[in-house]
Amino acid sequence: MNRKENTETVRIGEIALTKAWAGPIPVLYREPESVPAKAERKLAIFLTGLGGTKEKQAEFLKDIAERGYVALAFDNAGHGERGTEARDDLVSRVFGNMRREGWKVLGQTVLDTSAVIDWAVTALGVSEQVRMGGISMGGDITIAAAGVDRRIVRAAPIITTPDWLRPGMREISSEAPVMDPGAPDEEAQAFYDRFNPITHLDRYVDGPPMRLTLGAEDRHIPPENAERFKRELGRLSGESADRIELVYVPAPQADHADVIRRKAEWWPSLLDWWLND
């Protein structure tokens, strides 16, 4: 298929990206600048957190493409071009009932991930050996997708959780009160039952390597959630648990939002690990 069909060039600052449609899903991708003519084309997907957009991932996509990968981002379900409400309204709605609204975003975007990979393999000519990562909610989606789509061969979730119940979750604020997680409706519960990683540990036996970058002082997504995932997986398979690497951004100033601001400390080494052949 001609990769130039139904595409347009988008500039985010000085970064040129290509916009295309994976069925109904708008995507942005950046091609590597120099790849040998007969070299395998490799795909790395990187997703945003709650309230973010694919456009906000431009700097990440640029860095990924510089490592020789086709770098791709798409909007989470209900986000960006796929949404109908302002960012602040979206965030307020989801945080107002994480288990009803948040689980729907997570579950639908897990399904979307497989659809985007299907499209990219055909339309962009990439290998079915896919790298995936993301920040916060994008990391949650990454972990869940890696459990159901074996084409994901290495995962890089950042300030994230494998437990959609999010025990100990606090608001992202200076006071950080404990959040009321709300209650799911039937649709949200079905997504949880189908995709929640920690209740489907068997999917991660012989699963792909993952490096979870965590904030040592994260009160919004406490590191204990990832630690428990690794520990409980170890009861099924020590070898599989060994493929789950936990890396901490140290205190002080290692709460949820602090980790994003400290990108320069963890992003280069994560790229080295994540995109290492």
What is the band of 172 on the pLDDT scale with cuts at 50, 70, 90? confident
Q: Is the pLDDT of residue 2 over 50?
A: no
**What pLDDT digit, counting tens, does each position of 156-171 carry?**
999 999 999 999 999 8
Q: Looking at residue 82, what is its pLDDT? A: 96
**What pLDDT digit, counting tens, does each position of 110-153 carry?**
999 999 999 999 999 999 999 999 999 999 999 999 999 999 99
What is the band of 175 on the pLDDT scale with cuts at 50, 70, 90? confident
What is the band of 74 on the pLDDT scale with cuts at 50, 70, 90? very high
The full set of domain ranges for the chain reads 8-274
**What value does the mean pLDDT take over residues 193-201?**
98
User: Which homologous superfamily is 8-274 in?
Assistant: Alpha/Beta hydrolase fold, catalytic domain (3.40.50.1820)
221-256 residues labelled b (16+ CB within 10 A) or e (exposed): bbbebbebbbeebeeebeebbebbeeebbeeeebbb
CA-closest candidate to residue 138, choices 80, 181, 188: 80
**What pLDDT digit, counting tens, does each position of 202-228 carry?**
999 999 999 999 999 999 999 999 999
Q: What are the tokens at 150?
A: 């074996």
Q: How far apart are CA 98 and CA 81, in angstroms?
A: 21
Q: Looking at residue 36, what is its pLDDT? A: 63
**What pLDDT digit, counting tens, does each position of 235-244 carry?**
999 999 999 9
Q: Looking at residue 35, what is its pLDDT? A: 67
Which residues, including other chains, have CB under 8 Å from residue 222's CB and lie 6 or more apart? 167, 168, 169
Share of the chain above pLDDT 70, in %: 96
Give the global pTM. Answer: 0.95
What is the band of 5 on the pLDDT scale with cuts at 50, 70, 90? low
What is the band of 1 on the pLDDT scale with cuts at 50, 70, 90? very low
Single-letter code of the amino acid located at 16: A
